[in-house]
Amino acid sequence: MSVASLNPELVIHSDFLADRAAVHAMLEEIQGASDRPRTQEMERRQILGELSSTGRVYNRGASAGFDIPVLQNQIRAYAEGEYNRSQQTLKSLGQVVSTLAGVPGRKALLHVSDGVPNRPGEDLYLAWVYRYGDEGNPAAQGLRSGGMTTDYFREIGRFDLLPQFQQLGDLANAARVTWYTLDAEANHVATLRSAGLRGGVASEVLDAFEVNLREPLELTAKRTGGRRIQASSTFADQLAKLGTDFATFYSLGFTVPPGLSGEEAHKIRVEVRGKGLVVRHRQTWKPKSSDERSAEATTAALLYHAVTNPLGIELVPGAPDPLIDALG
């Protein structure tokens, strides 16, 4: 096992170890040094508090008119900030996967987080529609059922991260990495149900917030043949099922058509004839050139000592050789 953390930069704490005590010590150190920012969480609660202070009211009167542009700007700023943070997280996760590509054999990546939003700010926008929108406004009656208005796409829809999550899954498949996502938050909406929000939060807003954090984890895991694990009372059982995946698996072989391009990921479909059987598998595959494989193996050797070196080749720093420079 190798341990890496994102806080927010990527840090690889070790190469692959079989020492449980050493791994446990690293995890304890990471947990103690973790300083997860709470600013965005407090900002979200503040905006929701303003929106829910008078309950579910559709009002465009003078008393509400002053607050509308202020809250709109706050929601826009929050969504953009969360979008930028999520992009950085996805970039760092992609870097982790890229370093694992050159490690021989099958790899499993256990990503522990409290969620990465798919559409940052969507719950706040929906809460704003419920507070100030006209009754019957399709934007307030199921944003995810296709009834989104032009306002939605202009305000929040442009922050959609779904394509980037799909690319992350394809990158993991190309690196032969199976993704397991551990959602460390048992109940994402618990704090939003608190008495501190005087008017309460509409159930549709809570659902949007929960789905926003759950969907990307499920999508990435499913795309690589892995699974999503939820922190709950059945946590130990879920981890046990994860362990069985390492001992119970199959190999899928196929002939690559000549001239197949390596520029993009190619889809894989597996048909199961047995009644009631469900198979989890990688949904994409991407061919690689020998140069790409060599570069990946070099990276894996440097970071994880994961590649054998039977000839004992090593890189030793020294003074430049004028003859070599001239030939180069």
Q: What is the pLDDT along the chain (328 residues), one digit of tens a residue?
A: 899 998 767 888 988 989 999 999 999 888 876 555 567 778 888 888 877 764 444 444 444 444 567 777 888 889 999 999 999 999 999 999 999 999 988 899 999 988 889 889 888 888 887 776 644 444 444 443 333 344 666 767 788 899 999 999 999 999 999 999 998 887 877 766 664 565 567 788 888 888 888 888 889 999 999 999 888 888 888 888 888 888 888 887 877 777 776 677 888 888 888 888 888 899 998 888 888 888 998 888 888 887 777 777 777 888 877 776 666 5
Query: Is residue 301 domain-resident?
Result: no
Spatial separation of the C-alpha atoms in residues 221 and 228, rounded to whole Å = 6
Query: Is residue 206 domain-resident?
Result: yes
Q: How do residues 254-271 score in pLDDT, each as one tens digit?
A: 777 777 766 778 888 888
Query: Is residue 50 domain-resident?
Result: yes
Per-residue pLDDT, 283? 92
Query: Is residue 289 domain-resident?
Result: no
**Residues β-bridged to residue 143:** none
Per-residue pLDDT, 225? 92
Work out the number of other CB atoms within 10 angstroms of the CB of residue 284: 19
Query: Is residue 260 domain-resident?
Result: no
Q: 13, 98 in Cβ contact below 8 A? A: no
Structural domain of residue 131, as residue ranges? Answer: 36-247
Spatial separation of the C-alpha atoms in residues 149 and 264, rounded to whole Å = 33
Per-residue pLDDT, 180? 93
For the residues of 83-151, what is the DSSP string, one character each? Answer: HHHHHHHHHHHHHHHHHHTTSSS-EEEEEEES---SSTTHHHHHHHHHHHSPTT-GGGS-GGGT---HH
Among left, alpha and beta (phi > 0; psi -120 to 50; other), residue 125 is alpha
Per-residue pLDDT, 176? 92
Spatial separation of the C-alpha atoms in residues 98 and 275, rounded to whole Å = 37
Per-residue pLDDT, 3? 92
Query: Based on the structure, what is the number of domains in the chain?
Result: 1
Beta strands in the chain (DSSP E): 4-6, 10-12, 107-113, 177-183, 228-230, 266-267, 284-285
Query: Is residue 118 domain-resident?
Result: yes
Query: Is residue 190 domain-resident?
Result: yes
Query: Is residue 30 domain-resident?
Result: no
How far CA 28 is from CA of 6, 33, 34, 231, in Å, comes to 15, 9, 10, 19
Per-residue pLDDT, 265? 82
Which of 47, 32, 57 lies closest to 81 in space, CA to CA? Answer: 47
Please state whether the peptide bond connecting residue 8 to the residue before it is cis, i.e. omega within 30 degrees of 0.
Answer: yes
The model carries a pTM of: 0.80
